[in-house]
Amino acid sequence: MTDAIGYERIGDIAVLKAQNPPVNALGYDVRVGLMEGIARAEDEGAKAVLIYGEGNTYFAGADIREFGQPPKSPGLPEVCDRIEASPLLVVSSMHGTALGGGLEVALSTHYRIAVPTARVGLPEVLLGILPGAGGTQRLPRVAGVEAALDLITTGRHIRADEALKLGIIDRIEDGAPREIGLAYTKELLDQNAPRRPVSEMEAPEPVDFDAVHDSVLKKGRGQISPATAVRAVQAATELPFAEGMKRERELFMELMNTDQRQGLIHAFFSERAVSKLPELKGVEPRRLAAIGVIGGGTMGAGIATAALLSGLTVTLLEMSPEAAEAAKGRIKGNLQGALKRGKIDQANFETLTEKSLTLATDYDALKDADLVIEAVFEEMDVKKKVFTQLDAVCKPGAVLATNTSYLDVNEIAAMTKRPQDVIGLHFFSPAHVMKLLEVVVADETAPDVVATGFALGKRLGKISVRAGVCDGFIGNRILSTYRTAADHMILDGASPYQIDKALEDFGFAMGPFAVADLAGLDIGWAVRKRKRAEGLDPRARDSAYADKLCEDGHFGQKTGKGYYDYAAGPRSRVPNPDVMPLIEAERAEQGITPREFTDEEIVRRYMAAMVNESAKVVGEGIARRPLDVDMTLLFGYGFPRYRGGPLKWADLEGLPGLLDDIRSWAKEDPYFWEPAPLLEKLVAEGRTFDDLNKEAAA
Ligand code: T1G
Predicted confidence at residue 1, as pLDDT, reads 58
At 216 the pLDDT is 97
Distance between Cα 689 and ligand 1 center (Å) = 24
Distance 638 CA to ligand 1 centre (A): 23
Compute the distance from residue 381 Cα to the ligand 1 centre, in Å: 47
Is any ligand 1 atom within 6 A of the Cβ of residue 124?
yes
Residue of 481, 442, 491 lying closest to 610 (CA atoms) = 481
Distance, CA 303 to ligand 1 centroid (Å)? 29
Indicate the average pLDDT of the chain.
96
Q: What phi-psi label fits residue 134: left (phi over 0), alpha (psi between -120 and 50 degrees) or beta?
A: left
Q: Is the pLDDT of residue 539 over 80?
A: yes
- Tell me, using a 6 A CB cutoff, whether residue 681 lines ligand 1: no
Q: How far is the CA of 276 from the centre of ligand 1 (A)?
A: 16
Pocket test for ligand 1, best of 20, 23, 275 (most atoms within 8 A of CB): 23
Report d(CA 78, CA 131) in Å as an integer: 14
Q: Establish whether residue 683 lines the binding site of ligand 1, counting it when its CB lies within 6 angstroms of any ligand atom.
A: no
Q: What is the percentage of the chain residues whose pLDDT exceeds 90? A: 91
64 lines ligand 1 (CB under 6 A): yes
More confident residue, 294 or 429: 294
Q: Kindly give the number of the ligand 1 atom that is closest to the alpha carbon of 22.
A: 17
Name the DSSP class of 100.
Answer: T
User: How confident is the model at residue 224, as a pLDDT?
Assistant: 97
* Confidence check: pLDDT of 450 > 70: yes
- The mean pLDDT value for 287-296 works out to 95
- For residue 587, report the distance from its CA to the centre of ligand 1, in Å: 52
Per residue in 271-283, pLDDT (tens digit) is: 999 999 999 999 9
pLDDT at 36 over 90: yes
| Predicted local confidence at residue 531, as pLDDT | 86
Model confidence band, residue 682 (pLDDT cutoffs 50, 70, 90): very high
Instruction: Please write down the HEC assignment for all residues of 282-343.
Output: CCCCCCCCEEEEECCCHHHHHHHHHHHHCCCEEEEECCCHHHHHHHHHHHHHHHHHHHHCCC
Distance 318 CA to ligand 1 centre (A): 43
Contact 373, 293 (CB under 8 A): yes
Phi, psi angles (nearest 5°) of residue 614:
-60, -40
Residue whose CB lies within 8 A of the most ligand 1 atoms, among 34, 59, 64, 269, for a mutation test: 64
Q: Is 104 a pocket residue for ligand 1 (Cβ < 6 Å)?
A: yes
Least confident of 66-70, 108-112, 307-311: 66-70
Residue 77 near ligand 1, beta carbon < 6 Å: no
The rounded distance, in Å, linking the Cα atoms of 429 and 425 is 13
- pLDDT (tens digit, 9 = 90+) per residue, 595-626? 999 999 999 999 999 999 999 999 999 999 99
Any ligand 1 atom below 6 A from CB of 23: yes
**What is the mean predicted confidence (pLDDT) over 236-252?**
97
> In sequence order, what DSSP letters do the residues of 473-525 get, joined into one string?
TTHHHHHHHHHHHHHHHHHHT--HHHHHHHHHHHT-SS-HHHHHHHH-HHHHH
Report the Cα 385 to chain-centroid distance in Å. Answer: 36
Query: What is the CATH code for 288-467?
Result: 3.40.50.720
Q: Which of 481, 460, 489 lies closest to 635, judged by CA?
A: 460
Which band of pLDDT confidence, cut at 50, 70 and 90, is reported for residue 227?
very high
Instruction: Give the residue whose CA is nearest to atom 29 of ligand 1.
Output: 272
pLDDT attached to residue 663: 98
Q: How far is residue 136's CA from residue 166's CA, in Å, rounded to a whole number?
A: 15
CA distance 415 to 201: 72
The pLDDT of residue 68: 82
Amino acid at site 663:
R
Share of the chain above pLDDT 70, in %: 100
* Domain 5-260, classified CATH 3.90.226.10, yes or no: yes
pLDDT of residue 343: 84
Please work out whether the CB of residue 99 comes within 6 Å of at least one atom of ligand 1: yes
Orientation angle between helical segments 599-619 and 475-492, nearest 10 degrees:
150
Task: Check 44, 66, 104, 379 and give the catalytic one.
Answer: 104
List b or e across 503-531, with b for residues whose CB sees 16 or more CB atoms inside 10 angstroms: bbebbbebbbbbbbbebbbbebbebbeee
Residue 485 pLDDT exceeds 90: yes
Q: Is 128 in the pocket of ligand 1 (CB under 6 A)?
A: no
Residue 2 has pLDDT above 80, yes or no: no
Residue-wise burial string across 545-578, b where 16 or more C-beta atoms lie within 10 A, e elsewhere: bbbbbbeeebbbbebebbbbbbeeeeebbebbee
Domain ranges (residues) in the chain: 5-260, 288-467, 475-535+595-697
What residues pair up with 99 in beta bridges, in sequence order?
Answer: 121
pLDDT in tens, 314-347: 999 999 999 999 999 999 999 998 899 888 889 8
For 258-269, the pLDDT digits (tens) are 999 999 999 999
pLDDT reported for residue 84: 98
Question: How many Å from the N-terminal Cα to the C-terminal Cα in the chain?
Answer: 31
Cβ count near 174 (within 10 Å): 8
Q: For residue 511, is it left (φ>0), alpha (ψ between -120 and 50) or beta?
A: beta
**Given the CA of residue 135, which atom of ligand 1 is nearest to it?**
30
Provide the edge-to-edge strand list for the sheet that holds 371-374. Answer: 357-360, 313-317, 290-294, 371-374, 399-402, 422-427, 436-440, 463-467
Buried-state track 238-249, b at ≥16 Cβ within 10 A, e below 16: ebebeebbebbb
* Number of residues that make up the chain: 698
What is the helix (H) or strand (E) element at residue 260, kind and residue range? helix 259-273
With residue 425 as reference, give the H or E element that holds it. Answer: strand 422-427
**CATH match for 475-535+595-697 among 3.40.50.620, 3.30.70.600, 3.90.550.10, 1.10.1040.50:** 1.10.1040.50
Among 84, 124, 318, 438, the one annotated catalytic: 124
Return the ligand 1 atom nearest residue 57 CA. Answer: 22
Q: What is the mean pLDDT of residues 442-457?
A: 98
Mean pLDDT of 67-93: 95
For residue 175, pLDDT over 90 is answered with: yes
Cβ of residue 628 lying under 6 Å from some atom of ligand 1: no
| pLDDT of the residue at 645 | 98
62-76 pLDDT per residue, tens: 999 998 889 899 999
CA of 101 from ligand 1 middle (Å) equals 11
With a 6 A CB cut-off, is 156 part of the ligand 1 pocket?
A: no
> How far is it, in rounded angstroms, from Cα 51 to Cα 104?
13
The pLDDT score that the predictor gives to residue 569 is 87
* 104 belongs to the catalytic site: yes
What mean pLDDT is predicted for residues 297-303? 95
- Can you tell me the mean pLDDT for 361-383? 95
E strand or H helix at 158, and its extent? strand 158-159
How many Cα neighbours within 13 Å face the side chain of 252?
24
- Catalytic annotation present for 124: yes
Instruction: Return the closest-CA partner of residue 53 out of 126, 118, 108.
Output: 118
Confidence category of residue 58, pLDDT binned at 50, 70, 90? very high
Pure H helices in 144-191: 145-154, 160-166, 177-190
